[in-house]
Amino acid sequence: MVTMIVSTVLALPLAVLAARVGRRRWVRRRTVARVRAELFRHWVREEPSGRHLIRS
């Protein structure tokens, strides 16, 4: 029983660190995906319409 408590206490910081690193990667991946989607949307919107050529 004591061994289990000691192993749990030792494993806890490792688990927290792994969770932090995993979350950071996930957040970064989500941000990159959002930026790519935004750029793609901008490119799709600008390309076909000749709105920027027409002066109002």
Query: For residue range 13-37, what is the model confidence (pLDDT) as tens digits?
Result: 888 888 888 877 777 777 888 888 8
Decide: 21 and 15 in contact? Cβ < 8 Å.
Answer: no
Position with higher pLDDT, 54 vs 20? 20
Report whether pLDDT(1) > 80: yes
Q: Indicate the average pLDDT of the chain.
A: 75
At position 22, the amino acid (one-letter code) is G
Rounded to whole angstroms, the Cα distance separating 52 from 43 reads 13
pTM over 0.85: no
Report whether pLDDT(8) > 70: yes
Decide: 50 and 44 in contact? Cβ < 8 Å.
Answer: no
